[in-house]
Structure 1
Amino acid sequence: MLSKRSLVGIRLNFQTLAVLLFMLIGVSAYAADPAVASSDEAIAAGKTVFNANCKTCHKLDQKLIGPALRGVSDRRDIPWIKAFIKNSQAVIASGDKTAVDLFKEYNNTVMIAHEFLSDADLDNVISYIEHGDKVDPAATVAAAGGEAGAAAGGGIPSEYLTIIVGVLVLVLLLILVVLGLIISVLTKYINKQDLPEDDKEFVSQKTDYAKILKSDGFIIIVTALVIALVAKTALDGLYSVGVQQGYAPTQPIAYSHKLHAGDLEIACQYCHTGVEIGRSANIPSPNICMNCHTHVQNVAGKEGISPEIAKIYAAVDNNQPIEWVRVHNLPDLAYFNHSQHVAVGGIECQTCHGEIQEMEVVGQHSSLTMGWCIDCHRQTEIATEGNAYYDKLVQLHSDSKDALKVKDIGGLECAKCHY
């Protein structure tokens, strides 16, 4: 029988372990600021608020007119962020050093007040700033598959498997700690008893680590971990098949969308003529390029033109198409119509293609997976105002508290995209 003192010792060790666990849980809970939610609903709602009020002056991961916003909740307190968004000038006028320094750093540019935003709106926009749109095509130019594809196509299963493996490892470590404490307490207790020499020798023996490594239990645990990691890797690979998010091939002519669509503000529809009238957006022919370059080259003859533009002249003179490398490529089993989305739905090019006006080299911004499309159909509201085609649908949908969305007009039907 164990003595009362030994039982107390075991109990104290277990209590110590429990306290440590609660402390770890408490630290984790404290580290996750409840105001910065990471749910899909909060991020989607925050993106809507951000695009409507902040997008003109701010980006998440780089400077624009204002600073890059990602990580702002680590640099500032949440109440300060909300106060600054609502009325930055009031915060500056109060003498807040951080606000004053920020105002000076950005050339005294006045930020518009957003007093109309609710506290929920502010929580959502902070959620989007911290957790939304983290994929950057320019940073993953070479990732045609591999890690970028796995992250794009297999984010959910990969995340779940990582959590499961992490929990299993944590549970294993806790079990080992508890067993170690129990063994330590019992060893000390037994050593104090009057035992035969054989028993004392058995109790005092050192741990044989080589024997442990060869034991059935250790082999089973290692095998289970290896199987879990192999399964995770296999699932990541399966979910990345056909996903080319971040793919940005070198084109035959170094055409800069940043210069043409960004600096010169040439509308996408000028070059991609089919985007509002047909299924395909169309790749522009050399003749469209020459509509401008016949006049913008301020030189006599062709000798003074740049090597890249000379390639356009060569294509026209030889009556040969420019062999552009396709970036976005849906599988043949999926039907997509540009005009339905752009002309009817009023969807901006940037919704699917990212900030195209800032890309020197075009890369695939979105994953373009079926899950990505379905998620968009579930969240996107129908632009019904001024369109009589939707009047009857709006009337039928009037009993619902939610806005009319693509999913409500057949946007989730298989035959819409797989005909």
Structure 2
Amino acid sequence: MSIKRSILSVPLRISTMAMVFFLVLGAQAFGANPDVSDSEEAIAAGKSIFNANCKTCHKLDQKYTGPALRGVTDRRSIDWAKSFIRNSGALIASGDAQANAIYKEYNNLAMPSHEFLSDTDLDNLLSYIEYGDKEAAVADGGDGSGAASAGGGSGVPSEYLTIILAVLVVVLLLILIVLGLIISVLTKYLNSQKLDEEDQEFINQKFNFSKVLKSDAFVIIVTALVVALVAKTAIDGLYSVGIQQGYAPKQPIAFSHQLHAGQYEIECQYCHTGVELGKSANIPSANICMNCHTHIQNVGGKDGISPEIQKIYNAVDNNQPIEWVRIHNLPDLAYFNHAQHVAVGGIECQTCHGPIEEMEVVYQHSSLTMGWCIDCHRQTDINAAGNEYYDKLVQLHSDSKNALKVKDIGGLECAKCHY
């Protein structure tokens, strides 16, 4: 019976060693590229470039409007990363498979070109991406004190979890193949030895597939895989509850922000009259549209008026409101005031709504989750210069050597947004 015990112990030992080896390799795979500088000067310079050009759409350790950036020089070559940052559109047009995969994954939304960045700028930017703010990411769970969980993304991107599960399955299959080869070699060796009848019978027993399916080890492996897949699906589902990022409903009139805000440079405040005055930005009435379209009539439709503009005329003639479909929705339990952010805080519309002047069809650019708002309050500096609203607050914080941020004036208090 000693032979039987030794053979059965082989799978456990080899499986354990293989899994440890796999986890070690996996941990090394996510390490930063040694070719990227980790000097404090490079990281500081890179952070300034990141905040000025990348912060709106990217986070280091969390999938956001764009992919999580940390580790990009391990996933891609440094030259490829620089080419993509400089002009992603050109790289996509060239047929690059990786660039096109990212382009499709993010709803065909191309990243603006940054050809004005020098090689030194790009080196510093990559240094910050790989080495910057790691302590804060670890301390705050990747997005600051619960911001990762509330912000609609986990510490490990969803696609990584899928890849890890797939690789685990492949590794398990390879382990089974290796075990089969080992058992075959051991069987041949033991058959060449003089063994008693009981051991001989055990060694030469035929493979019983049904017995394997009923074995405890097989049941445990299959159960573990099923539980892991179900848990991953459930977690992904929980993180996406209430998040409508990318939502772009069809509107009753094909209004183009790219044409109005982009080409004709009409200020957002002209149509959204309440944005500097109160809680809501206001959806423009048909009368506001007619301020311009009484004089501007695109040729091509009935009476020389385009079909879309004719819908505005119909709404005015029939005294009926245009039933625009709301795109950006916050839960009733959350309070948001546009005037506080735009008039007092001086926040640009694009900070929350993205490149609205480039959108033919408007979509929800940001996640608008609690974690996303909290992260903004932690990082946004208060612009108090010449702003009387902040005079007393500046006096109270005059001894502070650091820049005054929203979090320092109650921006993280629950009652600020939840009454």
The aligned amino acid for 1:28 is A
Q: What's the CA shift for 1:189? A: 4.3
Match of 1:48 in 2: 51
Q: Structure 1 415/324 Cα, relative in aligned 2: closer, same or farther at 3 Å? A: same
Moved more, 377-386 or 398-407: 398-407
Q: Structure 1 185/404 Cα, relative in aligned 2: closer, same or farther at 3 Å? A: farther
Q: What's the CA shift for 1:358? A: 1.1
The aligned amino acid for 1:202 is F
Whether the aligned pair in 1 keeps the contact of 2:150 and 2:370 (CA below 8 Å) is no
5+ residue gaps, structure 2: 4-13, 56-64, 67-71, 88-112, 133-148
Q: What's the CA shift for 1:233? A: 1.7
Q: Which whole-Å deviations, capped at 9, do the CAs of 1:248-285 have from their partners, x for residues lacking one? A: 11111110111111111111111000001110000000
SS in structure 1 at match of 2:374: helix
Q: What's the CA shift for 1:239? A: 2.7
Q: What's the CA shift for 1:382? A: 1.3
Q: What's the CA shift for 1:237? A: 2.1
Q: Structure 1 44/345 Cα, relative in aligned 2: closer, same or farther at 3 Å? A: farther
Q: Structure 1 339/33 Cα, relative in aligned 2: closer, same or farther at 3 Å? A: farther
TM-score w.r.t. structure 1 length? Answer: 0.67
Q: Which whole-Å deviations, capped at 9, do the CAs of 1:364-408 have from their partners, x for residues lacking one? A: 111111111111111211112222443444455455554321111
Q: What's the CA shift for 1:190? A: 2.6
Match of 2:281 in 1: 281
Q: Structure 1 114/300 Cα, relative in aligned 2: closer, same or farther at 3 Å? A: closer
Q: Structure 1 34/116 Cα, relative in aligned 2: closer, same or farther at 3 Å? A: closer
**For residues 402 and 26 of structure 1, what CA distance do their matches in structure 2 show?**
36
Task: Give the paired residue count.
Answer: 346
Moved more, 203-212 or 20-29: 20-29
Q: What's the CA shift for 1:125? A: 6.7
Whether the aligned pair in 2 keeps the contact of 1:272 and 1:281 (CA below 8 Å) is yes
Match of 2:29 in 1: 28
Residue 155 (structure 2) pairs with residue 153 (structure 1):
no
Match of 1:250 in 2: 250
Q: What's the CA shift for 1:293? A: 0.7
Moved more, 305-314 or 20-29: 20-29
Map 1:9-408 to 2 at 5 A.
24=25, 28=29, 35=36, 46-50=49-53, 74=76, 77=79, 112=116, 120-121=124-125, 123-124=127-128, 153-156=152-155, 159=158, 165=165, 169=169, 176=176, 183=183, 186-297=186-297, 303-397=303-397, 400=400, 402-408=402-408
SS in structure 2 at match of 1:310: helix
Q: What's the CA shift for 1:44? A: 7.5
**For residues 276 and 239 of structure 2, what CA distance do their matches in structure 1 show?**
32
Q: Structure 1 170/405 Cα, relative in aligned 2: closer, same or farther at 3 Å? A: farther
Q: Which whole-Å deviations, capped at 9, do the CAs of 1:152-203 have from their partners, x for residues lacking one? A: 7344477486588568657856865775576456445433321134422321
Q: What's the CA shift for 1:341? A: 0.8
Q: What's the CA shift for 1:46? A: 4.9
Q: Structure 1 182/299 Cα, relative in aligned 2: closer, same or farther at 3 Å? A: closer
Whether the aligned pair in 2 keeps the contact of 1:271 and 1:284 (CA below 8 Å) is yes
Q: What's the CA shift for 1:309? A: 0.2
Q: What's the CA shift for 1:291? A: 0.7
Match of 1:146 in 2: none
Whether the aligned pair in 2 keeps the contact of 1:315 and 1:322 (CA below 8 Å) is yes
**For residues 36 and 391 of structure 2, what CA distance do their matches in structure 1 show?**
39
**For residues 229 and 188 of structure 2, what CA distance do their matches in structure 1 show?**
39
Q: Structure 1 229/398 Cα, relative in aligned 2: closer, same or farther at 3 Å? A: farther
SS in structure 1 at match of 2:294: helix
Whether the aligned pair in 2 keeps the contact of 1:50 and 1:125 (CA below 8 Å) is no
Whether the aligned pair in 2 keeps the contact of 1:49 and 1:125 (CA below 8 Å) is no
Q: What's the CA shift for 1:36? A: 10
Q: Which whole-Å deviations, capped at 9, do the CAs of 1:193-226 have from their partners, x for residues lacking one? A: 2113442232133432221112122112212221
**For residues 383 and 199 of structure 2, what CA distance do their matches in structure 1 show?**
83
Match of 1:414 in 2: 414
Q: Which whole-Å deviations, capped at 9, do the CAs of 1:40-62 have from their partners, x for residues lacking one? A: x999765313269xxxxxxx99x
Moved more, 405-414 or 223-232: 223-232
**For residues 219 and 299 of structure 1, what CA distance do their matches in structure 2 show?**
71
**For residues 259 and 46 of structure 1, what CA distance do their matches in structure 2 show?**
30
Moved more, 393-402 or 246-255: 393-402
Q: Structure 1 387/311 Cα, relative in aligned 2: closer, same or farther at 3 Å? A: same
TM-score w.r.t. structure 2 length? Answer: 0.67
The aligned amino acid for 2:79 is D
RMSD: 4.7
5+ residue gaps, structure 1: 3-12, 53-59, 62-69, 86-108, 129-149
Q: Structure 1 298/183 Cα, relative in aligned 2: closer, same or farther at 3 Å? A: closer
